Amino acid sequence: MVSKKASCRALDTNQPDKEDIGNLWLYDRALAATSCGIVISDARSFDNPIIYCNPAFLEITGYSQDEVIGQNCRFLQGPDTDPDAVEQIRQSIRIGQEVRVILKNYRKDGTLFWNDLTISPVKDTSGKVTHFIGVQSDITDRKQAEETRQLMQFSIDRAADAVFYIRPDGTLFYVNDAASQVLGYSREELLALSIHDIDLDCSAQVWQSHWQQVKEGGSFKIESQHRTKDGRVFPVEVTFNYLKFNDQEYNCAFARDIRENKQAEKALQRSNALLKAQQESDPNGVLVTDETGATLSYNQQFCEMWQIPEGVRQFGDDKIILNWVLPLIQEPQRVFSQMEYLEENPSLISREEIHLTNGRVFDCYSAPARSPKGESYGRIWSFQDITEHKQTERRLRQQAERERLVSGINQRIRQSLNLDEVLNTAVEEVRQFLACDRTLICRFNPDWSGTIVVESVGEEWTPASAISIQDTCFHESKAHLYQKGRIRAINDIYNTDLSPCHIQLLERFQVRANLVVPILQGENLWGLLIAHQCSKTRDWQDSTIELLRQISVQLSVAIQQAALFEQLAEELAERKAAEAALRRSKQALKTQATELKKALNDLKQAQLQLIQTEKMSGLGQLVAGVAHEINNPVTFISGNITHAEMYAQDLLELVELYTEHYPQPIPVIEKHIEVIDFDFLKQDFPKLLKSMEIGAHRIRQIVLSLKNFSRVDEAERKPVDIHEGIENTLLILQHRLKPEAANINLVKEYGNLPLVECYPGQLNQVFMNILNNAIDAIASRWDASASRYANANDALEKFEPEPTSEHITTHVATPSHPNPRIIKISTEVVESSPSQASNSEDTENEKKVVIRIADNGSGISKDVKKRIFDPFFTTKPVGEGTGLGLSISYQIIVEKHGGQLECFSVPGEGTEFVVKIPLAPSALKSAQTPIQPSSKG
């Protein structure tokens, strides 16, 4: 209250008297009591701050006084406050003029309210504006009601249906735009008419009835016909509503053009008729239900299939029809569970078989009826009687099973030659397939006594094989019939023409019905295939009889096949015995042939060795004899040549003494001195003796080499110097190595070899053969080269280049400038690794002497190299080679010395022979196991 008084005093700065103060207090109480919100702002201060507000203002805005005082009234505005109204307020304040506006304002809590605001200026005695008084009223309810009314009016004016406000006398009070458009009148023309002018079915009497009905009920709906201005008539659906406003009664009628509805209804009726015709023409039973499961329609076939009588159909009650159908189904609970599942899942398609109690089978197909948007309209059920189809299917399945059974037995007959296995499997599968109690095969002996060969029987029945069978009358009365192929089917043993003794026999087997099929072998009755039904009588079907007949045929084949196999097995046993004897004979002949071949080969080797041994023995003896004969005179000459030198020296010294003491000889001596050229004789005679000594020594060396090469006195193994043997061989071949012979350069790369235990003479023979072949290869290559050189020289002599052509210098190798002819001999000691030693069956490392003899001759081709160690193989012309050199060399190295002889060759470049001999005597393996020659490329 103090603040309010202060605010009131702020209106006038002059100090009022007590009477004025009382009046101001009365004014303040009056402002506080008013329901309008009142604010006073100071126009003299910046931004016109509020200096007073009454409680109604605070209640309308929701603010407190402290939050309002000092604020500008703009704080109540929002983003959607009308800017034109705000601008109008500003203009009025600017010119100090009163203004009234309606605008949106917002309370403190953010809620909207409509403000009816009047702003009035307060001027002092001089006419200057000092304050503004704002009076506002919350007109939100009135504004919303006005907007609602406007919206309703707008909705009615813009409604798609025609709207008529009709007075009790039938005249029109109001029409909307749709009524004008659909009837073709203007609004003024329609308001001048009555309802009787536009509604053909609404006469004055009918209208009074409608008026009374709508007044009592408040609302009702009818279908009628309206006529347009141009006379066209169209159907409408009219809804009448009773209204009373300001004590005036009205009938608000909404008229909807239902021409499209009528056309759609007609189309729907046509569609329903077609659907009904389609249902009736469907050979299957058809049932249509809606989305709730209620029955909509069904065709005549459905009623006939489910045997629904006419009286039940006329009720049209789903429960009555359901109660009629329910007892016909074998498993009603399963069927209705499926229906409930489909109701819970309306989008599913279902197909199942319904089995009835009378044996019929229905194929039930169900599909949902759905809108394009997936909305469920219901479900269509189609029932097809597939009883005959199922029966046919069952017959075909049984036929297929019978064929599979027969085929399986046939397949086993082909795959198995064990008759007992085939028969046991057959009776077991036949019993399982026929579902009978016993199946057996009885075989007849030559005296017509029967034996049960195989049997398959249920656990609760006595095996027939345990019962002794004595049927003396079978041969006399029944055998000839079964032998002709008779098949006997007995459905009940007590209702047939069986003899009492036969019935008694079957009773022993607990038989009530049996089926007997013969098993024939040509025209002979081999046995019977019998099926027993012990638990009850049985009506044997034709298909069952045919099945057993086919199986009996297959078993006949199996029996015949087993007999043939047994006969064949006997023949095969005899044949195998004959073949075994033949194989033993062939093996003996083969062994004998192998032994003969080996003996022949040994004979050839022995002959070869004998020839070579005799040859080398004779050659050695010849060489030794020649060497001995030469050695005797050479020894005589060599032994006396020293004395001759001494004697000659003494004679020459004596002649010198004579010359010194008798310087003037007699004429005859002097003449003789001149004749014999005594001075030359003195000088040349010692040289002559020295030359004779050197020649004698050379002869002794040659004799020694011949003696060492022949080694006649060295037939056993002994340590020798390999290099000495090579040198002796080269000395003997020196005449083929000289420049005037082959002009071959020898390259020796001798290693540090210890003495090697070997057969010296045989080893020298190997060196001789390899070196001879090397010399021949070099000579062969260079003879061919010389021929090419000669041809090339002839061509060069005949060739004369033209003066204008470019001169080309061609270098051709000639015999005067040949390439070097080389034989390279190298030796070394190597240690074999364990892997290499294993090839020669040695488990420990061993040392070997390796001799390599290489030449740059013509080389050896691959085809020839494969045979170079074969006896009597040679590439030399007839008369120049025996083909035994390398073969004998191979035997000497491999068999005599336990070593290896290898050949490496490249045609046109040369050949290398490698001889490997073990140092240790224990490594020697004499020719106990032949070793294949090695000729590597």
Pairing between β-strand 248-257 and β-strand 162-166 as defined by DSSP bridges? antiparallel
For residue 704, CA distances in Å to 623, 699, 708, 715, 731 come to: 10, 9, 6, 18, 11
Q: Tell me, what amino acid is at 797?
A: E
Q: Tell me, what amino acid is at 200?
A: L
Nearest Cα neighbor of 250 from 211, 282, 193 is 211
Instruction: Determine the pLDDT at residue 748.
Output: 92
Pairing between β-strand 745-749 and β-strand 822-831 as defined by DSSP bridges? parallel
Element (H, E) at 850: strand 847-855
Instruction: Determine the pLDDT at residue 922.
Output: 54
| DSSP secondary structure letters along 60-105 | HH---HHHHTT--GGGG--TTS-HHHHHHHHHHHHHT--EEEEEEE
Burial tier of 180 (Cβ tally within 10 Å: 0-12, 13-18, 19+): middle
In tens, the pLDDT along 472-512 reads 666 666 777 887 888 888 888 888 888 887 888 888 888 89
Q: Give the SS3 label for residue 737.
A: helix
Q: With helix as H, strand as E and coil as C, how does 668-724 read? A: HHHHHHHHHCHHHHHHHHHHHHHHHHHHHHHHHHHHHHHHHHHCCCCCCCEEECHHH
Element (H, E) at 389: helix 387-415
Q: Which two tokens stand for residue 531?
A: 């099926």
Instruction: Determine the pLDDT at residue 98.
Output: 92
For residue 362, CA distances in Å to 281, 289, 381 come to: 19, 19, 12
Instruction: Determine the pLDDT at residue 786.
Output: 58
CA distance 862 to 528: 79
The DSSP bridge partners found for residue 901 are 915
Q: Which residues of the chain have pLDDT under 70?
A: 1-24, 155, 315-316, 412-417, 466-477, 605-625, 627-628, 631, 698, 701, 704-715, 740-742, 784-819, 833-845, 872-873, 877-884, 921-937
Q: Taking a C-beta distance cutoff of 8 angstroms, is the pair 4, 32 a contact?
A: yes
CA distance 850 to 590: 42
Instruction: Determine the pLDDT at residue 800.
Output: 42
Phi, psi of 884, rounded to the nearest 5 degrees: -110, -10
Give the sign of the dihedral formed by CA 500, CA 506, CA 508, CA 513. Answer: negative
Instruction: Determine the pLDDT at residue 122.
Output: 92
Phi, psi of 742, rounded to the nearest 5 degrees: -120, -15
For residue 287, CA distances in Å to 339, 382, 642, 859 come to: 13, 7, 153, 105
CA distance 283 to 302: 9
**pTM tops 0.75, yes or no:** no
Q: Give the SS3 label for residue 917.
A: strand
Nearest Cα neighbor of 402 from 549, 562, 596 is 549
CA distance 816 to 499: 130
CA distance 172 to 198: 11
CA distance 672 to 682: 14
Q: Taking a C-beta distance cutoff of 8 angstroms, is the pair 171, 207 a contact?
A: no
